Structure 1
Amino acid sequence: MERTQTIKHKVYPNDYISRDQWRDASIADLTKDDGLASRPWAELRRFEILPNCRLDASTWRIPTSWMPAGNKRAISSVTIVPSRAGIDANCKLAAVRDESIRRAMLALLLPRRYRGGIYAPAYSTWSDQCRQLLTMAAWQMEHSPSDDGSIFNAFTFDNLNNRMFVQKGYRSITRKAFVKTLDILIDAGLRGVISDWPRFYRCADKSAGSPSIERSRLGEQAHSMEQPALNKSNRNFSDTFVTEFVERARWLQDNLADQIIDCWKKDQAIRRKFAKAGKAGKDHDVVVARRKCIQKYDWRDCSGRPLTQLTFLQYSTDHQDPSTAMSWPPDSARGLREMISTLQGFNLGIVALCTGARSSELLAAEDMPLGLQDGRYASTTFKMVDETGGKLRDWPLHAIAVRALHIQHQIAALFRPKRSKALWVPVFEDRVQDVHHGTKQFARAVNLLGLGKHLDDRNAHLHRWRHTVARLIALAVVSAPQVLLDLFGHRDFGMTLQYILSAPRIAEEAIRIAREETYVMAENAITETLMGETSGGASEKLRVNLPKAMRHGKDLFDTSSLRETAEVLTFRGAHFNLVRPGVICTKGRGEFGPCTAGRGAPDPGACRTSCDKRLELAISKKQCEETLLFLRLERLSAVSEGLEMLVENINGQMVSELRRWDDVRKRLTATYNDIRTLWDEEQRCPAKF
């Protein structure tokens, strides 16, 4: 009898060992060689695939602290049951099948080659891939069982593509996830990690003369591909929804939030008082006393007027007219609890709007009241980071989001379970430690207050705020891709552009807004030029020629025709490019310019202060002066350290800035001797700079 080696591990508390510590202590031992498929099952089955959980255990449970916050920490996500792959009636074949499925799921957990490096999968990814493997194995057991107990020896390309995918009606993104899981298993099989692995790709391609694969068996009803479900999370919210949501959220913050929390504290004090007397919460006397407390509370809006109806907040149900105002106060403690849940949903939506964070990043935040003072939202991100346990990061917050977090801090103190530090708490689910589904909280508030009609036949998915933020920034912020790259924590611009381009008419909107922005920019430029407040090479030409261009017969256009002048001057928004805030390029496509060294479209990135097509608005004057003062300090520091090459580089930058504004140059040369000396030297030897 062959002697087997026992794999021993320390016993760790299930939720407190770090994933890095676990990999170093256990998983790394299995990757020393690729011959894992040849290791005896009697030895391998004792391996602890998870802390205190052997490979042959009936149920595997991933520590919740290893998973991203949200629905990934639900029981259904952290629990894996290998027997769901199907159990053969033959005991011998059932044992072979059970070993194959467990070895395959172990292979999915091991580090693997990915994009030229070694990639260790996150446990959330591994959990999803295990479920995909179990789904395929269960389908194979039901429709195409093998004679030897294996999974993939009888699982063909026809089974996967033309039968299982068709019957299940999977969307394209789900199909790709299944295929990716199979690719990992194929790589593991080629490296000798597992012996039962998919080999059907070898025979998937047939020659032109060979018979084609039938989509169904003889006599079996043909399956038709179901229409893919509408993706409810990859579209931005409409402008109407965002406006209505923010207005309702601010109204709640200003008028009801503090009163609702205070009333709930008094309600709970009454409940505790009766509990000491041995009366439960459903006792008639307790119910009456709590209702009386709510009804007699002095409800007033921010102006001090009594609140008897919430005309701004409306129900939207099948049994009630949406236009009917919701009476106030609620008639029971449950109604008050419902409003607290609604308040939390609005707080969550406001923070999502202001940060653009993922749902898991929103829900991973802990209640840290001292962190609210700096106006930033601190949490843990699990995607696009190398740290297996996630990485701490923060987001800047608008004042309305800071106010929402102050309110949420009070709610969390009232409803947070013991031994929990979560900021977002279960208001109705008393036995649940954390909020696992942020979308459920948010959608509940949206539907209760009548905003469902603005959702465009989609649900109020929390991830839609991320697409909304991408659209708003793309349309309103200069260098939007770089801003979104930093805000979203992406690794490349391709990922960011997917969010920007997810808006159906983003290109049309961008062109329209760019044209309108050009008109506004041109109108400001015309007004400032006529008033003599602009600078740059194009300033004097425009100052002389604009009055002639605006003359119509004997009369000048009045101010209402400024838009028409802007349209003509910019060729209906085609010209006038923004180089940077306060600096405009007036060069046309057929004109010469130093930025292109000839004719062609202007290149704002190569703009020079000496260009005769450059127009500087009054807003850039202050920026020019601040830049010169900063460069002066850098120059003094470089001179003191003897950095001659750096000094010459800064000299060129300062001369370029001094050419921009005459009054700025005169003021600074009169104030600072070193700047005056530099400018005088430039006048004597222009070629030097």
Structure 2
Amino acid sequence: MFPPTKWDELERLISRHVDSILHILLLLSGGRKSEVLSLKRSVVLREAGTVDEFGIVEGRTMKPSRTSLGDKRNWPIPAQVVGWLKTQAKLAEVLGPRDSDGFWWSMSGTSAGVARISPHYRCTQFAERHGLAHLNDGTAHPHRYRKTIARLALLALTGAPMLVMEMFGHSDIMTTMRYLLADPGILADLREMLGERRVEVALNIVEDLDRSAGPASATLRSQRDRFFDELNIPFNERAQRVTLMQFVTAKLLDGAMDIKIIYPGVVCIRALEQTGLCAVGGRQIDPAACQSKCRFRLDLSLRIDEVYETIEDLFDHYHEAIVDKLDLPRKFFAAQILDQVEIFPEIKDHYRNDDRFLALISKAA
């Protein structure tokens, strides 16, 4: 009932608030229960700002610390949650023990007013009370939040291991990797995500194929056209996503092709037993040695602006080398310009009558 008219109704309402704060902190911080229990009433270290709308809360981490008091650490918290934490701190002042600045206090009949709670009890009872216990693969203990956050981060974020290491307060990256990869659920999700990602990448490549460049683009276009000809697919249907997916499934996802994003906009497409110009002395792809003339390289159209910028930067370095009379750097930059200009036909057409490019060709000849 709201507003509450009896003490037990008020007590239940406050208890729900405490439960909510506990769950929010566990979910947002990935904190161990000892870290969440370490919070004081002065928990808000920094109010939410107008720039990022995140505040900072301060607590202590116990497990990696060499002292019984733990080491100070903090977490970013959304602006709205900062307000809820301040409400919790105010309730602790009124209902908690007078001789403590603890953020938590017990409301049970046997230890009312004591500056402690049981996160394990509150999490498991929350699931029981709300009919959620049957959904859990095991007990709904507080540490489950760390596994949930680790799984979401690993699946959704670039550089997730380093982020999880920082968030969880691990002392080294190997601890984090063992934590992430020891969970069979995470591994299963990763395998599923990687399969979906492979389909997405392959479909994006085929959709962009007529605007792409690089030696592999011509090969792949030829394979696509031959595939559609064999199936007698009309020209007006060949750009449809469903039709393209047939080609992707038949030619790129059959297990014989290895598709790797070397860096944004550059893709390596080769059969599993083939090697490119980067794989000197072995079959492993070496992104640092990727060459524009490699027959397995495909440049997506999203790189066009980047290639223009690269060429202009190279021209600046090229002319600096001429002014400084540095012959070796001049030849290096000239070779790089020639390689970059050849990637996209429209870029080659753009520089065909450029005085700087004509002078470079003349000097190279």
* TM-score normalised by L of structure 2: 0.71
Q: Which amino acid aligns with 2:91?
A: L
In the aligned structure 2, how far is the partner of 1:577 from the partner of 1:660?
22
**Larger-gyration structure (1/2):** 1
Q: Are the equivalent residues in 2 in contact too, given 1:655–1:682 (CA < 8 A)?
A: no
Amino acid at match of 1:469: I
- Contact map agreement 1:376 1:394 (CA 8 A) in 2: no
Q: In structure 2, what is the Cα distance between the partners aligned to 1:358 and 1:413?
A: 24
Determine which of 8, 11, 26 is the counterpart of 1:337: 11
**SS of the residue aligned with 1:584?**
strand
Match of 1:481 in 2: 161
- 2:270 counterpart SS class: coil
- Aligned-partner SS, 2:208: helix
Question: In structure 2, what is the equivalent of residue 502 of structure 1?
Answer: 182
Q: Whose relative contact order is higher, 1 or 2, with alpha carbons under 8 Å and at least 6 apart?
A: 2
Q: Amino acid of the residue matched to residue 362 of structure 1? A: V
The corresponding residue for 2:90 is 413
Q: Which residue of 2 aligns with 1:516?
A: 196
Give the unaligned 5+ runs of structure 1.
1-293, 298-329
* Cα separation, 2, equivalents of 1:382 and 1:682: 66
Q: Distance in 2 between matches of 1:395 and 1:594?
A: 47
Q: State how far apart, in whole Å, the 1-side matches of 2:362 and 2:17 are.
A: 66
Residues 1:361 and 1:580: Cα distance change in structure 2 (over 3 Å): farther
The 2-side partners of 1:393 and 1:612 are apart by 51
Q: Is 1:426 paired with 2:108?
A: no
Q: Which amino acid aligns with 1:338?
A: R
Confirm or deny: 8 A CA contact 2:308 2:347 kept in the other structure: no
SS for the counterpart of 2:170 is coil
Structure-2 residue corresponding to 1:443: 124
Provide structure 2 residue ranges, at least 5 long, that are not aligned to the other structure.
none
Equivalent residue, structure 2, for 1:549: 227
Matches within 5 A, 1:256-655: 295=2, 297=3, 332-365=6-39, 366-368=42-44, 370-373=46-49, 374=52, 375-379=54-58, 380-384=60-64, 390-396=70-76, 401-416=78-93, 417=96, 418=98, 422=102, 424-426=103-105, 428=107, 430-433=112-115, 435-456=116-137, 458-530=138-210, 532=211, 534-556=212-234, 558-572=240-254, 575-597=258-280, 600-604=283-287, 606-619=289-302, 624=306
**How far apart in 2 are the matches of 1:667 and 1:371?**
56
Helix, strand or coil: the match of 2:43? Answer: coil
User: Is the contact between residue 214 and residue 344 of structure 2 (CA under 8 Å) also seen in structure 1?
Assistant: no
1:678 Cα offset (Å) = 9.7
- Counterpart CA distance in 2 for 1:441 and 1:679 is 75
Query: 2:243 and 2:74 mapped to 1: Cα distance?
Result: 48
Q: Deviations over 1:186-206 (max 9, x none)?
A: xxxxxxxxxxxxxxxxxxxxx
Cα deviation for residue 585 of structure 1 reads 1.9
Q: Give the Å deviation of 1:576.
A: 1.2
CA distance in 2, matches of 1:679, 1:378: 61
| 8 A contact 1:577–1:585 mirrored in 2 | yes
Local SS of the residue matching 1:465: helix
Q: Judge conservation of contact 1:337–1:427 (CA < 8 Å) in 2.
A: no
Contact 1:592 1:598 in 2 (8 A): no
Alignment of 1:175-190 (within 5 A): none
Counterpart in 2 of 1:300?
Answer: none
Instruction: Please give the secondary structure, in 1, of the residue aligned with 2:48.
Output: helix
Rounded to whole Å, the distance in 1 between the matches of 2:73 and 2:179 is 21
Percent identical pairs in the alignment equals: 22
Following TM superposition, by how much is the alpha carbon of 1:470 offset from its aligned partner in structure 2, in angstroms?
A: 1.9
Q: Distance between the aligned counterparts of 1:459 and 1:565, measured in 2?
A: 46
| Aligned-residue offset at 1:443 | 3.3
Amino acid at match of 1:372: A
Sort the Cα spacing of 1:682 and 1:371 in 2 relative to 1 into closer, same or farther, 3 A: farther
Q: CA deviation at 1:390?
A: 4.1
Aligned length: 338
